[in-house]
Structure 1
């Protein structure tokens, strides 16, 4: 019998709650749904008003993974959708996760959450800059920490304050709150800093994705500032064998991570204690008073 629960007045059918999704730890679908419900106050501000894309992994990371921007079949009519600009489909709409009921509904699908750098009411007008620091083996997250610290200091020279989070995979993400600015301008600025980083740290930084150049270096992926691109949302679980989370971190943790990066892996069970200790370290991204201007 499918359990039915009520969340904020919405009736939800939660399916296969005992199914193991993350095999390395035996983490079940029920534990995933519970995680999102507990972390809702932290993750919802970063989902709200942003069209969401889903990476679905209903059979775990070893099963079929599929990325979707369209509302999944069976999306309840009370889940908000918003029009999004797509050249191939001018009538396209995407889900927007605004409330706890919508979050629990989406969690029941077993998804990663990915969001653009703009809000639904202002498509292609970014209110943040992002950099995805992706290490090429044998480089690790430790090298990403070195690059993150350089970027932090360089952004500060332009009056911009950066915040860091783990990607939940191999690297780090940096984000900067920004006064609403056309995505094209943000993309150009982000690329210029990636190019500058490669010039300043040529043995460590790449601004191009070329695979042949990747070993031992950190690719500073600036492309996620393009209007059509998305980035893993803060606090989302990732489709990994362990229930890894894209978790905001302090700059002290980034500085310590320059050693071996061992402390920069966070799982589902780590997040509630971190929120208790630090609150939402990415909260300033939603504070317009902290938003910067491009130089």
Structure 2
């Protein structure tokens, strides 16, 4: 018997209607909307600590990854009353709006609701709403380094750079937590005590430039694409308050449903093949079953942001 195209169900006490369940959202693999919803439902417990109290930017593919997508900051028309929304300023918005009503995913029901909207990618800033003055002075609890391989490089080279960055962070008394980007590169999270996004950006830029100076054949901290072939670009700019990064355990809207997957330092150190660090939903769920949450403890021991020379 074919699976139903729509279903009314209860998620953690909340009744919701799931629609177009048989729609293929990843044409190359046949991965359906029902499978997207199921993955997000299963991984929500590990995803929520990273989404909680952060304004979400969604990247939606209502007709699948073979068709057009769109970014969405505002809560869409018809957002249920039980979904938390927060009005925050959006300086420099391409829409010309001064503020937006952001969705905030604090519970499993909201995660499932987003999956039903084909919000395949969930992007978050490095700051939380509760730490900030209504978003006007965002206070970050994370620093992120986005390691992006240029032509001729891969995630394997990103792993080499991540190891060097880990050592550099150690000199400042900081710890890095790696994950794949779900695309070609890596992200490295650094938990900190709340600090302004301006100061975290300055610190991230300093470290990126220090590493680029120490490893000029392997690393660039310059955004000029012509300088990237064969190198890993350390994108420190993701720490700006208006910037977002793909959340841990989020899907990617690509040809296949790859996941931004937390990995441990042993995996980083032993990486020799990019394929070994590409994970699909069933592989991520199997990893969780075997290893638990590799990012467990990320927020348990934040360190003060080191002062840098002015």
Which TM-score tier does this pair reach, normalised by the shorter chain? over 0.9
- What residue number does 1:292 align with? 303
Report what 2:278 is aligned to. 265
Using the TM superposition, give the Cα deviation of residue 214 of structure 1 relative to its aligned residue in structure 2, in angstroms. Answer: 1.4
Name which of 23, 31, 37 aligns with 2:35: 31
Give the length in aligned residue pairs.
292
Provide TM-score, normalisation by structure 1.
Answer: 0.96
Match of 1:119 among 103, 128, 152: 128
Q: Give me the CA root mean square deviation.
A: 1.2
Distance 1:110 1:65 in 2: 10
Match of 2:44 among 40, 45, 54: 40
Deviates more, 1:270-279 or 1:169-178: 270-279
Which ranges of structure 1 fall in alignment gaps of 5 or more residues? none
Distance 1:283 1:89, change over 3 A: farther
Distance 1:262 1:31 in 2: 23
Q: Secondary structure at the match of 1:5?
A: strand
Q: Give the whole-Å Cα distance in 1 for the aligned partners of 2:74 and 2:25.
A: 23
Residues 83 and 120 in structure 1, CA contact (< 8 A), matched pair in contact too: no
Match for residue 194 of structure 2?
180
Structure 2 Cα separation of the partners of residues 36 and 91 of structure 1: 28
**Which residue among 296, 302, 305 is the counterpart of 1:283?**
296
Kept after mapping to 1: 8 A contact 2:73/2:100: no
Asked if 1:52 is matched to 2:56, the reply is yes
Aligned pairs for 1:198-213 (under 5 A) are 198-213=212-227
Alpha-carbon displacement from aligned partner over 1:203-233 (angstroms, at most 9, x marks no partner): 1111112111111111100011000000000
State the shift of 1:15 in Å. Answer: 1.1
Q: Bigger relative contact order, structure 1 or 2, given CA contacts below 8 A and separation 6+?
A: 1
1:144 aligns with 158
| In 1, Cα distance between equivalents of 2:6 and 2:251 | 24
Residue 22 of structure 2 aligns to a residue in which SS? Answer: coil
- Any residues of structure 2 matched to 1:153-192 within 5 Å, and which? 153-192=167-206
1:193 corresponds, among 188, 203, 207, to 207
CA distance in 1, matches of 2:86, 2:184: 32
Which ranges of structure 2 fall in alignment gaps of 5 or more residues?
A: none
Tell whether the 8 Å contact from 1:60 to 1:241 is kept in structure 2 after alignment: no
1:70 aligns with: 74
Counterpart pick for 1:274 among 262, 287, 304: 287
Shift of 1:91: 4.4
Aligned partner of 1:105 among 96, 108, 113: 113
